[in-house]
Structure 1
Amino acid sequence: MKSNFFRGAVALGALALIPATTAALADGEASSYKALDEFMDVFQKVRSDYVEKVDDEKLIKGAIDGMLASLDPHSSFLDARDFQNLRTQTEGSYGGLGLSVTQEDGAVKVIAPTQDTPAWRAGIKAGDYITHLDGQLIYGGTLDEAVDKMRGAPGTQIKLTIVRPGRDKPIDLTLTREIIQLKPVKWEVKNGIGVINIVSFSANTGADVRQAIRSIDKSLGRKPTGYILDLRSNPGGLLDEAVSVSDTFLERGEIVSQRGRNKGDVERYYAKPGDDARGLPVIVLVDAGSASASEIVAGALQDQHRALVMGERSFGKGSVQTMLPLSNTTALKLTTARYYTPSGRSVQEGGIEPDVRVPQLSDPDYKNRPKFRESDLRRHLINEIKTDNAALEEDSKDDPRFAATAEELKKKGIEDFQLDYALKTIARLAAKPGGAVAQAAPVRKPATH
């Protein structure tokens, strides 16, 4: 009798919750409809009373862009033009300067120049601001307008005015546009060591890295002493290609996991048997411009103890964007998940901390040049585990290994100190018995994340 009473009470309690839940949902919907009515009121007022006639499409796109910009720096609406730009970035080629740029408070800011392009050869750096193009102020314009002006027919010139934090005066540069071939992977052999430079993670990058390994072997007629995977100034790209590149150097184990809003939204990616580098020493070079897919590769090889990560702390973009088609020509690029390295680390804000911090001594301005990272972007996602690298990076104690000046290095023929240091480290590793970076046992995950 007693149990029947309790069962009845529980049932009544559950039923009593239904109207309350329904009412809460109804209140939420009513609030949303009220806000939409307010939006339409503003839209109509702008259409009818603004000082100049305005285009409806332009107003709506502006409203969508504003809504997505309020979320995080990486969610955006792609119209037909943006789609074409995305295809160019991942598949094609174009006439231009070889710059990845973003917009910050109305200013065009350099994310990174692509290696062996006019921008890279001119010495444009990550964190530079472009203020004028051919003498015309571009502050306050759209990013698309600035990109369109920088692109153009190969052989034509354009004058850029650059403001660099730490420099008193603007820098004027005249660059000649070239065909920018978006080849994601380049390789060379230095001192018997294979150097593989990945510019971006676009279509077939994983396959291109495996081909680079075969080409290095063929050029030497044997296996190299080791490999350097250069991911510096690589802004990222396709998640699948980051997984493919990581898999190239791993025999087994987790590569990365991504986790969405709901508890069950977890997807894990694992390496398939077969290490193309046959266990030889691997060093991964990163810097403040190494972002997203670059950090997935560096984090996977670091956590699985397959490679040494060397250079500077990476950018710190630990989020995943999904393309959600809206029509045949438009889509929503929406942040849908965070990604985690095999040990359960999120790189959001904090980035990948190198095993060996190596400053770029061959850059005479490296000490004074501000580093531009994810944590500098407005409305960036906050890492659940707050990291503070400021004390470490501002350590003023001189390291005797890194005392040379850019001028002294140039006299020795060293134009890229980080690469030179990595080459010497590979040689030292290979000279020691059992010196190769061993394939690790599966990484032990922390109990909580």
Structure 2
Amino acid sequence: MKTAKTYKWIAIGLFCLLLIRFGRGVFATGDSAYEQIRRFITVLNAVREYYVEKVSPRKLVDGAIIGMLEQLDPHSIYLSPKQVQQFKEEFEGDFSGIGIEFIIRDNYPVVVTPIPNTPAERLGIRPGDKILKINGMSCFGLKENELRYQLRGEIGTIVRLTIQRTGMAEPLEFTISRDRIPVHSVQTYFMLNHKIGYLHLSRFSKTTDEEVEHALCDLENQGMKKLIFDLRFNSGGYLEQAVKVADKFLSGGKKIVYTRGRVATINEEYYSTSYHTHPNYPLVILINHGTASAAEVVAGAIQDWDRGVIVGETSFGKGLVQNQIPLNDGSAIRITVGRYYTPSGRLIQRPFGHNVTKYYTTTVENTKVPEHQRRVFSTFSGRKVYGGGGITPDVKIQSPKITTTTAKLIANRSFFEFANQYAPSIKKKYSSFKDFVQFFKLDNILLQQFLLFLENKHYSFNYKEIIADKAYILAEIMSEVARQLWGSNAYFKIRVLNDLQVKKALTAFPLAEKLAALESGR
């Protein structure tokens, strides 16, 4: 059992480390780092010795680290070993498993979609499949993290699934060899019509540059002459990937972003190159309140250089540079070391206080600072753009508002469940996805079938709110049916075709064409 003497030795060790790292200057005042560490050790020791219940020292130190970082800013944070691993999987580009996205319904995991080009998709796992057993063990009641642990594993190892499929009398057995599963940052891309391409980027991960390059080349080969680049709900990621993506649309020698910090080594400037610059076609970038960090870097550079039109809502306003510092137990701290600025000099970061909840739930637009009171900057051609945090769009288009009833239906995955039951009955009606898009009717008959489904499931709903959101609800049903029959890309295409912000973004192309002409004339 550790005693108070143990913590005294810890204090001595910290003292020595501080002396080596900072020299005697660190101990010059009563507010020195050593004095504060000694105070912390006293508290830690007191809790360890006298608290009414036994407390884990690790738990206490974790809490102290979290509390320390909370005194800085909302983005300086502590990451547990599990969170470090999750971040690595999300942004490094892959993990090992079978390749499915799932939800838990009625205590069993249900497949939402197999990830394209993975073992699950190749073996015919379908949306709506209910996983009854994994390696002979029942899945009933297992939590999401327990299921992920059983489904993931080393490449080449085997997992056996017992699946119940709608319309099948007996369960199906699948033997799947685990493989490397890509985590894509390009969520989807396709041609909206014979001239306009659409590309949705969900994050800036290790593979983003390659993915965006592939998507752009493919769209251009299909005849794309204009592009809608969707950065809505893109929370950011790696700065170097954002620079490479912006570089694809800018001619060489243009500043994309610069950083400034207290330490001189943090001060950097990033410029475009002439390598892999794509044709100067009209460009519209969609943003909203969920567009943050690296995504704001791209939008800000495109706007400042008049390369494209920014459409949507003012972005989140996250413009702080973090360095991630690993700790010896696999955890890490992420420390703010600088700030991002757009080429025109706009600070992307919006003001923040110590109320983290308010910071994340309040948008730049809700701070009630009118544009005429915000600092004005100029783009390359002299257009006005605004500081104060975030990227203010050139063309403002609000996100559609949905009722509480519809929000609950989304959270409960009611549209997915209904489509899982409804899709098999219409499968024979449409020989192709093209026919489905052209002839599927979003009418009252479909809505009544959905309401009957909700009643049979004993889901409560407000009929007036259902009617108010009728168009949105029917579009959601159509997209989920498309996913059941033709996969994830069909799902995204239906959603985009019925997206009011995308439809309104199409009206911004005349301005985008004028800006493209400016670029061509330079």
State the TM bucket, normalised to the shorter chain. 0.5 to 0.7
Judged with a 3 Å threshold, the aligned counterparts in structure 2 of structure 1 residues 63 and 150 are, in CA distance, closer, same or farther, namely farther
2:216 to 198, 213, 217: 213
Distance 1:62 1:408 in 2: 47
Runs of 5+ consecutive residues of structure 2 not aligned to the other structure:
1-22, 104-114, 116-126, 128-139, 152-160, 163-179, 351-388, 408-467, 476-493
Q: Retained in 2: the 8 A contact 1:80–1:330?
A: yes
Q: Retained in 1: the 8 A contact 2:231–2:285?
A: yes
Counterpart residue type for residue 518 of structure 2: A
Counterpart residue type for residue 45 of structure 1: A
Q: How many residues align?
A: 319
Within-5 A mapping of 1:195-206: 195-206=198-209
2:244 alignment counterpart? 244
TM-score norm. by structure 1 comes to 0.61
1:436: Cα distance to partner? 3.2
Distance 1:97 1:42 in 2: 46
Q: Retained in 1: the 8 A contact 2:198–2:227?
A: yes
- The question of 1:277 aligning with 2:278 is answered yes
Runs of 5+ consecutive residues of structure 1 not aligned to the other structure:
1-21, 100-115, 122-133, 136-145, 157-178, 370-404, 443-449
Q: Retained in 1: the 8 A contact 2:27–2:34?
A: no
Q: Retained in 2: the 8 A contact 1:193–1:423?
A: no
1:236: Cα distance to partner? 0.5
Distance 2:520 2:320 in 1: 26
1:423: Cα distance to partner? 2.7
1:421: Cα distance to partner? 1.6
* Matched position secondary structure for 2:518: coil
Distance 2:31 2:399 in 1: 57
Counterpart residue type for residue 508 of structure 2: T
1:54: Cα distance to partner? 1.5
Judged with a 3 Å threshold, the aligned counterparts in structure 2 of structure 1 residues 237 and 24 are, in CA distance, closer, same or farther, namely closer
Judged with a 3 Å threshold, the aligned counterparts in structure 2 of structure 1 residues 180 and 355 are, in CA distance, closer, same or farther, namely farther
Q: Retained in 2: the 8 A contact 1:187–1:196?
A: yes
Q: Retained in 2: the 8 A contact 1:96–1:153?
A: no
TM-score norm. by structure 2 comes to 0.53
2:184 alignment counterpart? 183
Judged with a 3 Å threshold, the aligned counterparts in structure 2 of structure 1 residues 180 and 51 are, in CA distance, closer, same or farther, namely farther
Counterpart residue type for residue 259 of structure 1: R
Q: Retained in 2: the 8 A contact 1:302–1:308?
A: yes
Within-5 A mapping of 1:38-187: 38-90=39-91, 91-93=93-95, 148=145, 182-185=183-186, 186-187=188-189
Q: Which protein has the bigger helix share?
A: 2
Distance 1:202 1:262 in 2: 26
Q: Retained in 2: the 8 A contact 1:323–1:332?
A: yes
Distance 1:283 1:273 in 2: 21
1:23: Cα distance to partner? 10
1:352 alignment counterpart? 391
Judged with a 3 Å threshold, the aligned counterparts in structure 2 of structure 1 residues 289 and 324 are, in CA distance, closer, same or farther, namely same
35-44 or 231-240: bigger deviation:
35-44
1:75: Cα distance to partner? 1.6
* Matched position secondary structure for 2:63: helix
1:329: Cα distance to partner? 3.1
CA offset digits 1:136-182 (Å, max 9, x no partner) = xxxxxxxxxx98489676799xxxxxxxxxxxxxxxxxxxxxx9962
Q: Retained in 2: the 8 A contact 1:312–1:353?
A: yes
1:387 alignment counterpart? none
1:29: Cα distance to partner? 6.5
C-alpha RMSD over aligned residues: 4.0
1:194 to 186, 193, 197: 197
1:325: Cα distance to partner? 3.5
Q: Retained in 2: the 8 A contact 1:305–1:437?
A: no
1:436 alignment counterpart? 516
Q: Retained in 2: the 8 A contact 1:206–1:248?
A: no
1:351: Cα distance to partner? 0.8
Distance 2:244 2:515 in 1: 26
CA offset digits 1:410-444 (Å, max 9, x no partner) = 89996211111223433x458x7x673532899xx
CA offset digits 1:234-274 (Å, max 9, x no partner) = 11100000001100111031000011114674200000015
Within-5 A mapping of 1:250-261: 250-252=250-252, 253-261=254-262
- The question of 1:306 aligning with 2:386 is answered no
1:50: Cα distance to partner? 1.7
Counterpart residue type for residue 390 of structure 2: G
Distance 2:328 2:25 in 1: 33
CA offset digits 1:63-107 (Å, max 9, x no partner) = 1121112211222233432321121111235789799xxxxxxxx
